[in-house]
Amino acid sequence: MHNEELHKIAKQLVAENKGILAADESISSANKRLSDVGVEGTEDNRRRYRQLFFWIPKIEEGLSGVILHDETIRQNDENGKPFITILIEKGIIPGIKVDLGAVNLPLFSDEKITEGLDGLRGRLKEYYKMGARFAKWRAVITIGDGIPSDACLDANAYVLAQYSALCQEAGIVPIVEPEVLMDGDHTIERCEKATGAILKRLFAELVKYRVDLEGLILKSNMVIPGKDCATQATPEEIANATLRVFHNSVPESVAGIVFLSGGQSPKDATENLNAICKQAGPWPMTFSYARALQAPSLEIWRGDDGKLQEARDMFLKRLHLSVKARNGEYRSEME
């Protein structure tokens, strides 16, 4: 029964015509986003930022789940209603970011390892009692001179597998996010190689530690050239490279794949998702966007509640376009 429930939740998260909102920015990341639009990074302003989206009527028509930060899962709206209750009442599955961020990998310059395993079993029990039914853990993989190293790939794959096992033990669906960053001037070929390397190691570790892949979701970068690469790629080239990696590295039993936007513009993230989802694969594929969904609305709102409706309309537009792309039905004229 435990596994059946995990399978059910995982399927709901990648349901047709829906995606996941990643509203799990750390306090420092949320403060930076607010500061960039002239809003002070206070706890109340972070709460208002979340409320901007959670209050939107009918967002459940395009969202299966929302990933929350520890601060957000404990916050209430201005009427005193817990955010997690608002989501549950809309039929949206609450999720929680449980990693504690990436730090320098000891003795390996310019590479990262993600912390947060210590005490995770207890934290997961608490989050489950609060209503969270899935979690997310992000690993950071950098492409550069001689990196990613085998040590970095192995260490992050091991940590992701341990996190996943602890999640499933707690009745929580793990989302594993081994993000290969866009930072740098690397080619699409190097991104494809690095993405394949971490995914192969990751799934070998997951199988080793008896993680049920039907109760797990992969959150992946798209295979894209570095943002400083002289030769950029078309959506079709990105789709072909991304799916080639998945077919070579991701078991068919995985419940689904969701994509991060990874610093792409909202339009690019939508066009590339559309090109990928036009091609059939054995896994349901959809989006799990943060900036690509929220940033245009934040630019409009800028802390001015007189702009709430306009900001919310923009969010619904980006959500609608992302759903279209998830179905391979997006066209650039829809912008």
Catalytic sites, residue numbers: 177, 219
Asked if residues 318 and 267 have their Cβ atoms less than 8 Å apart, the reply is no
Pairing state of beta strands 63-68 and 112-114? Answer: unpaired
Calpha distance 280→132 (Å, rounded): 31
**94 backbone dihedrals φ, ψ, rounded to 5°:** -80, 135
As given in the structure block, the two tokens for residue 122 are 């207890």
- Cis link prior to 148 (omega < 30° from 0)? yes
Calpha distance 143→163 (Å, rounded): 24
Calpha distance 13→254 (Å, rounded): 13
DSSP one-letter string for 267-286: HHHHHHHHHHHTS--SS-EE
Asked if residues 326 and 273 have their Cβ atoms less than 8 Å apart, the reply is yes
Sign (positive or negative) of CA dihedral 321, 217, 225, 107: positive
Could you say which DSSP state residue 181 is in? P
As given in the structure block, the two tokens for residue 220 are 């992946």
Calpha distance 262→165 (Å, rounded): 26
Calpha distance 229→187 (Å, rounded): 6
